[in-house]
A and B are shown apart, each in its own frame.
Chain A
Amino acid sequence: QVQLQESGPRLVKPSQTLSLSCTVSGGSISSGGYYWSWIRLRPGKGLEWIAYIDDSGSTYNNPSLQSRVTLSVDPSKNQFSLRLRSVTAADTGLYYCAREERNDDFQNWFDPWGQGTLVTVSS
């Protein structure tokens, strides 16, 4: 079955850029019918959807994060990536990548998820 695994630096300094990658195994990122998403869980807050990318490179960001987020995809590596600019301590949290089931009328859900990677923003 499809599995996802996040990777990237666990410690980022304030004002710098958080960069994470997600490697997909057990299936092709170009198989169609899915978006590839990033979701985070920050201390004391619930889950927050960050953004998605599809296999053609089309992206869509959470309006609350829009200007700071960039996603990219590398089908040859079966991998997609997140860049979050100008981070602060408020961006500290668990970052998950997930496959988003693309349905009509935005009735999408997320399955499966990666294990998550804890990113700390601190000097």
Chain B
Amino acid sequence: QSVLTQPPSVSGAPGQRVTISCTGSSSNTGAGYDVHWYQQLPGTAPKLLIYSNNNRPSGVPDRFSGSKSGTSASLAITGLQAEDEADYYCQSYDNSLSGFWVFGGGTKLTVL
């Protein structure tokens, strides 16, 4: 019951392309608020992967890309590698109530 909806799991073979969706509503992503993405490798802290919809912090490979349109955003990973197996979370801002930052429920990426 997270404010942003993500698929619980996705999978792909090494070298393939996978996408992870993040769907919000008119009070968050649909209101024009940016989407940010985080990668959480097993046993580690979440790490910023994409900020402001489609920007990569320094050090993040260009295999990772983000996009946003309307109420939905997507994270795409090309050239899938075993080390990409992790949990991925999207995040935005919601202007309902008095406003607060919100996350998706997370997507577990399995590299087959």
Are A49 and B45 closer than 8 Å at their CB atoms? Answer: no
Are A106 and B46 closer than 8 Å at their CB atoms? Answer: no
Are B45 and A115 closer than 8 Å at their CB atoms? Answer: yes
B24 within 8 A of A: no
Interface residues in A, total, Cβ within 8 A: 25
B105: A residues at CB distance < 8 A: 45-46
**Given known contacts A107-B52, A109-B51, A63 and B93 CB-to-CB distance under 8 angstroms:** no
Q: Which of A62, A63, A109, A114 contacts B36 (CB 8 A)?
A: A109
Q: Which of B44, B52, B98, B102 contacts A115 (CB 8 A)?
A: B44
Contact with B along A22-62 (1 / 0, CB 8 A): 00000000000000010100000111110000000000001
A113: B residues at CB distance < 8 A: 45-47
Are A46 and B89 closer than 8 Å at their CB atoms? Answer: yes
In the complex, how many angstroms separate the beta carbon of A27 from the nearest chain B beta carbon?
16
B61 within 8 A of A: no
Contact with A along B21-43 (1 / 0, CB 8 A): 00000000000011010100000
Are B93 and A107 closer than 8 Å at their CB atoms? Answer: yes
List 11 A-B residue pairs with CB atoms under 8 Å apart, sorted by A's residue number.
Answer: A37-B101, A46-B106, A47-B89, A47-B91, A96-B45, A106-B95, A106-B101, A107-B33, A107-B34, A110-B38, A113-B46
Give A contacts to B, CB under 8 Å: 37, 39, 45-49, 62-64, 96, 100-101, 105-116
